[in-house]
Amino acid sequence: MNPRTDARVTLDPEDWDEFRSLAHQMLDDALDYLQNVRSRPAWQPMPDSIRDSFAEPVPKVGIGAAAAYADFKERILPYPNGNIHSRFWGWVQGTGTPLGVMAEMLGVTMNPHMAGFNQAPALVEHQVIRWIAELMGYPVTSSGLLVTGGTMANILALNVARHAKCGFDVRQKGLQGTDAKLLVYGSSETHNWASKGIELLGLGREAFRVVPVTPEYTIDVASLRETLQRDREAGHLPICIIGTAGTVNTGAIDDLQSLAEIAREYNVWFRMDGAFGAWARISAKLKPLVAGMEKADSIGLDLHKWIYLPFDCACVLVRDGGLHGAAFASTASYLTQYERGVIAGGLPFANLGIDLTRNFKALKVWMSFKAHGLDHIAKVIDQNVDDIRYLAECIRQSDELELLAPVPLNIMCFRYVRPGLSDAALNRLNTEVLLRIQHRFS
């Protein structure tokens, strides 16, 4: 038998017309699903029969695209966590947009390898990074990378901070290049990416100096300064201060101006975690709340939260593009760049992070920015904050509800109160109220 002349095995559709009809049905169903989302529960528990069905063995023989799609509609589509629903109020999660869905489909259709290369998709990401840097007040010499989420954006930036501030070649020698303890500072409200990142980079959990917060849940600047000074005098080496614009618990915004000043004074890296709060900067009304973030050495922000794009899409920005590249750049024979041809553009994105293989995240950003415009997106952000502040005022006027934290952005913490109950009893009561709402009224 000659494998070159025998029928070839392929994963293409056997009948393109039949597949086209199924694909159109998928698209119509998807748009119906988005258009009618409010008519369904935000979340519903799965029957045991559905849950147990996922214990099926690996399929050795295929059932066909139409049958697989029917299985998806029955067992998967009705049971999401509900984050795209208008009645989804828990956690800081984005919704996505219909245009984002289409952009994702187009990007996957092209399926470009986004390490770089001499191709239009690479130019799209370069342009998107320039746009975001400009919106955040960064210079044209800054650099950036689209990544999966705020955790990865922040960890990559922390690696740049370690490289820039440790005082030795950490890439060559590792942490054995110094006897000093490298330290990172952040408030007790810092997202847990910090602990993960500090552990991952080999600094150890003890290297994270947890600074107390004020009654507004922002970092206590005086305590930070005292801790920095005490560690310096003990012979340790502070390398990074983490500031947050929009903490995950309360939406608190640290005093970013003061953090920038302290970072310069102590020659440490100022890392800004702006996972969702950084986008307040595109609103004329909210921009003063995040003043000082443009002075940060690096910023991490999500586009799948307050820019409403589908998961996953986040961005890390580094003010000094040279330092960014120096922290990650590497070479290999199979990555050789030539003056012309497909790889003439080089692999710049591969030298700004860990991943070599990356998908076309930039397209959904590019299409959203061009289609909607940043002014319109800013109006949606303003509307979101206005809604929450209106609700906060209603809660302040209620005898049965209690506001538990300030409301600077779009996160609000409140609870139902009943006279005579302890805090522990109130917490148990509110947990039960929450779960009953999820089960009965979603």
- Neighbouring CB atoms inside 10 A of 426's CB total 15
Half-sphere exposure of 308 (CA within 13 A, CB side): 19
Torsion of CA 294, 297, 298, 299, to 10 degrees: -20
Strand-pairing partners, residue 146, are 315
Give the Cα separation of 281 and 317 in Å (integer): 15
Give the Cα separation of 388 and 382 in Å (integer): 10
Name every residue whose Cβ is closer than 8 Å to that of residue 200 and which is 6 or more positions away in sequence.
Answer: 155
Q: What SS3 class is residue 298?
A: strand
What is the model's pTM?
A: 0.93
- Model pLDDT, residue 1: 57
Output the six-digit token pair for 58. Answer: 């690996």
Name every residue whose Cβ is closer than 8 Å to that of residue 139 and which is 6 or more positions away in sequence.
Answer: 133, 319
Boundaries of every domain in the chain:
16-91, 112-373, 375-440
- Give residue 352's identity as a one-letter amino acid code: L
Output the six-digit token pair for 313. Answer: 């899409």
Give the Cα separation of 191 and 305 in Å (integer): 15
- Model pLDDT, residue 376: 97
Measured CA distances, 77 to 20, 32, 46, 74, 440 (Å): 21, 12, 11, 7, 20
Q: What SS3 class is residue 228?
A: helix
Report phi then psi at 169, rounded to 5.
-80, 85
CATH number for the 16-91 domain, one of 1.20.1340, 1.10.3470, 1.25.40, 1.10.8? Answer: 1.20.1340
Give the Cα separation of 67 and 384 in Å (integer): 41
Output the six-digit token pair for 376. Answer: 């319109």
Name every residue whose Cβ is closer than 8 Å to that of residue 425 and which is 6 or more positions away in sequence.
Answer: none
Between helix 362-372 and helix 120-135 the angle, nearest 10°, is 60
pLDDT in tens, 57-75: 999 999 999 999 999 999 9
Give the Cα separation of 191 and 441 in Å (integer): 30
Name every residue whose Cβ is closer than 8 Å to that of residue 138 and which is 6 or more positions away in sequence.
Answer: 294, 299, 317, 319
Which CATH class, in words, describes the domain spanning 112-373? alpha beta
Give the Cα separation of 369 and 180 in Å (integer): 46
- Model pLDDT, residue 321: 97
Q: What is the pLDDT along the chain (442 residues), one digit of tens a residue?
A: 566 666 789 999 999 999 999 999 999 999 999 999 999 988 999 999 999 999 999 999 999 999 999 999 999 999 999 999 988 888 888 899 999 999 999 999 999 999 999 999 999 999 999 999 999 999 999 999 999 999 999 999 999 999 999 999 999 999 878 888 999 999 999 999 999 999 999 999 999 999 999 999 999 999 999 999 999 999 999 999 999 999 999 999 999 999 999 999 999 999 999 998 999 999 999 999 999 999 999 999 999 999 999 999 999 999 999 999 999 999 888 888 899 999 998 999 999 999 999 999 999 999 999 999 999 999 999 999 999 999 999 999 999 999 999 999 999 999 999 999 999 999 999 999 999 988 876 5
Strand-pairing partners, residue 42, are none
